[in-house]
Amino acid sequence: NTPLQEDDKEIYDLIQKEKYRQYSGLELIASENFTSLSVMEANGSPLTNKYSEGLPGARYYGGNEYIDQIENLCRKRALEAFSLNPSEWGVNVQPYSGSTANFATLTALLQPQDRLMGLDLPSGGHLTHGWQTAKRKVSSSSIYFQSMPYRVNGDTGIIDYDKLEENAQLFRPKLIICGASAYARDWDYARLRRIADQHGAYLMADIAHISGLVASAEANNPFTFCDVVTTTTHKTLRGPRAGLVFFRKNKDELETRVNGAVFPSCQGGPHNNTIAAIAVALKQVAAPEFKQYAKQVRANAKALGEALTGYGYKLVTGGTDNHLVLWDLRPLDLTGNKLEKICDMANITINKNSIHGDISMLSPGGARLGTPALTSRSFKEQDFIKVAEFLHRAVQISVAVQEKAGNNTMKDFVAALQDNNDIPALKKEV
Ligand code: PLP
């Protein structure tokens, strides 16, 4: 058994470089986090060798004595982490990712071509909630189902629940999906439940981004109102890359339908190493320090948002309730790509993000900034005020480079970056 460093030096070196990149820069991607050593140990364990199609106690392969115990522990901890009563709620811990958890849920709840409503991607929604453009059905959630997205109000940036209710009267959805990838405010689950009930529709929440906040009661609780709740495990929950599907046990045979949709409808053998790593992460979520972490994530996002607003910048919805801020760069005549490029060069990692009303997803008018990863590195409010100062300087550099480019294309922008002295100076300070 040769260690990686000797067996494959090329990959080993690249991993070391990526490790250095992650720890030497400012990680502000809202969907990323730094998972613990113990989670990584479980994830890189010999469990990766095992096949275990099926569920604990009912497998299609032998040798699953310990795998069954691991998966059962993971399911128990998942329910405990969200304070769910096991006689009311069940959970499937096998989805390989958030996207597969969502597609399995659609497979469980809907028939092909049934109608669903999710938050539009340019409003902050996720691809898997029915994303389609005027020209093309992009996601399998719009290819195999009929999708009518709802949106945020262009002036306030808040979800337009009135319009959603009005459109639901016309569309009569079988499923309403709440949840988002780039929405800085909390959700009115009670209102969404009332709308769903008007049409006998299921209500599903995808809490991928905010699950760590939900588990810590730092966000509204979707379990009170929803039939199914999905999440990723690697964002605010700080686990390995995977997904979970929670379902109401006593409604419409959801337990059988969800479990059957995950396997055999959508997936094959579970990734047991990942399931063990999820279990480790969920044990950490149940500890009192995690509650403190989740509180700090929000306090940091608030501090970051206020500092940026203090510099005169515009945030969509004017602020934040959760772990992220959505920064509207359009008043600066700057695109998210350009700021992302400058930040990358200065070791600040952010992502461009569309804002309601944007035409191009590739050249959007916003940037999304999240606090979960740096909060895991013990950043507090005053650290985020410093981060905002770095971002302010990155904007100033971007605006100056744009002026020099004299043209709005990315190609000219990159050409105008040559010989810029401000970027290395900023990088040094970061
Ligand atoms: N749902 C939401 C709300 C997300 O933001 C994401 C990913 O960013 C996903 C689902 C998909 O998760 P994954 O990348 O694990 O497939």
Q: What is the pLDDT of residues 241-281, one digit of tens each?
A: 999 999 999 999 999 999 999 999 999 999 999 999 999 99
Q: How confident is the model at residue 418 (pLDDT cuts 50, 70, 90)?
A: confident
Instruction: Give the percent of the chain with pLDDT over 70.
Output: 100
Q: What number of residues does the chain have?
A: 430
Residue 248 is predicted with a pLDDT of 98
- ipTM higher than the 0.95 cut: yes
CB distance 179 to ligand 1 below 6 Å: yes
The arithmetic mean of pLDDT across residues 338-364, rounded, is: 90
Residue to substitute in 94, 96, 99 for testing ligand 1 pocket (most ligand atoms within 8 angstroms of CB):
99
Q: How confident is the model at residue 408 (pLDDT cuts 50, 70, 90)?
A: confident
Global pTM reads 0.96
Residue 2 C-alpha to ligand 1 middle, in angstroms? 35
Contact in structure between 52 and 64 (CB atoms under 8 Å): yes
Residue 309: both structure tokens together: 């607003």
Using CB atoms within 10 A of its CB, is residue 14 exposed (0-12), middle (13-18) or buried (19+)? exposed
Residue 11 CA to residue 99 CA, distance in Å, equals 27
Residue 274 C-alpha to ligand 1 middle, in angstroms? 16
The arithmetic mean of pLDDT across residues 42-68, rounded, is: 97
Residue 419 is predicted with a pLDDT of 81
CB distance 274 to ligand 1 below 6 Å: no
pLDDT at 156 over 90: yes
Q: How confident is the model at residue 409 (pLDDT cuts 50, 70, 90)?
A: confident
pLDDT at 314 over 80: yes
Residue 124 is predicted with a pLDDT of 95
Strands ordered across the beta sheet of 115-117: 89-92, 243-248, 228-232, 202-206, 175-178, 115-117, 146-147
pLDDT tens, position by position, 279-308: 999 999 999 999 999 999 999 999 999 999
Residue 253 C-alpha to ligand 1 middle, in angstroms? 26
Range with lowest mean pLDDT among 168-177, 180-189, 407-416: 407-416
CB distance 126 to ligand 1 below 6 Å: yes
> Taking CA 371 as the corner, what is the angle to CA 367 and CA 376, rounded to the nearest 5 degrees?
145
Going by alpha carbons, the residue nearest to atom 11 of ligand 1 is 98
Closest atom, ligand 1, to C-alpha of 180: 3
Amino acid at 358: D
Going by alpha carbons, the residue nearest to atom 10 of ligand 1 is 98
Residue 123 is predicted with a pLDDT of 94
Which has the closest alpha carbon to 296: 368, 371, 349?
371
CB distance 99 to ligand 1 below 6 Å: yes
Residue 313 CA to residue 304 CA, distance in Å, equals 11
Instruction: Give the percent of the chain with pLDDT over 90.
Output: 92
Residue 400 C-alpha to ligand 1 middle, in angstroms? 35
In the three-class reduction of DSSP (H, G, I as helix; E, B as strand; rest coil), residue 345 is classed as helix
Residue to substitute in 93, 119, 126, 131 for testing ligand 1 pocket (most ligand atoms within 8 angstroms of CB):
126
CB distance 208 to ligand 1 below 6 Å: yes
Q: How confident is the model at residue 228 (pLDDT cuts 50, 70, 90)?
A: very high
* Residue 45 CB contacts under 8 Å (≥ 6 apart), including other chains: 273, 276
Bridge-based pairing of strands 351-353 and 366-370 is antiparallel
* Residue 232 CB contacts under 8 Å (≥ 6 apart), including other chains: 31, 97, 98, 101, 208, 211, 241, 242, 243
Amino acid at 15: I
Residue 406 is predicted with a pLDDT of 82
pLDDT at 176 over 80: yes
pLDDT at 427 over 90: yes
Residue 243 CA to residue 175 CA, distance in Å, equals 20
Residue 377 is predicted with a pLDDT of 96
- Considering the chain, what is the average pLDDT of its residues? 96
pLDDT at 323 over 80: yes
**Torsions phi, psi of 121, nearest 5?**
-60, -45
Which one-letter DSSP state was computed for residue 27? E
Q: What is the largest CA-CA distance in the chain?
A: 67
Contact in structure between 176 and 109 (CB atoms under 8 Å): no
Where are any strands of DSSP class E within 170-298? 175-178, 202-206, 228-232, 243-248
Residue 212 C-alpha to ligand 1 middle, in angstroms? 14
Place of tokens 């909630």: 129
pLDDT tens, position by position, 179-199: 999 999 999 999 999 999 999
Contact in structure between 224 and 214 (CB atoms under 8 Å): no
CA dihedral 98, 99, 102, 108 (to 10 degrees): -120
CB distance 218 to ligand 1 below 6 Å: no
Active-site annotation, residues: 51, 53, 206, 232, 235, 241
CB distance 33 to ligand 1 below 6 Å: no
Contact in structure between 344 and 3 (CB atoms under 8 Å): no
Residue 387 CA to residue 394 CA, distance in Å, equals 11
Whole-number Cα distances in Å, 180 to 122, 324, 333: 11, 11, 26
CA dihedral 283, 278, 324, 356 (to 10 degrees): -150
Residue 398 is predicted with a pLDDT of 94
pLDDT tens, position by position, 65-78: 999 999 999 999 99
Give the helix/strand (H/E) hosting 58: strand 58-59
The arithmetic mean of pLDDT across residues 345-373, rounded, is: 91
Range with lowest mean pLDDT among 107-121, 201-215, 379-393, 407-421: 407-421
Range with lowest mean pLDDT among 205-214, 242-251, 414-423: 414-423
Residue 140 C-alpha to ligand 1 middle, in angstroms? 14
pLDDT tens, position by position, 83-142: 999 999 999 999 999 999 999 999 999 999 999 999 999 999 999 999 999 899 999 999
Contact in structure between 342 and 394 (CB atoms under 8 Å): yes
pLDDT at 11 over 80: yes
Closest atom, ligand 1, to C-alpha of 97: 15
Residue 120 CA to residue 91 CA, distance in Å, equals 27
Residue 185 CA to residue 178 CA, distance in Å, equals 12
Quick check: bond before 86 cis, omega within 30?
no
Range with lowest mean pLDDT among 43-52, 86-95, 213-222, 404-413: 404-413
Contact in structure between 329 and 342 (CB atoms under 8 Å): no
CB distance 209 to ligand 1 below 6 Å: yes
Residue 147 C-alpha to ligand 1 middle, in angstroms? 18
Residue to substitute in 119, 120, 128, 234 for testing ligand 1 pocket (most ligand atoms within 8 angstroms of CB):
128
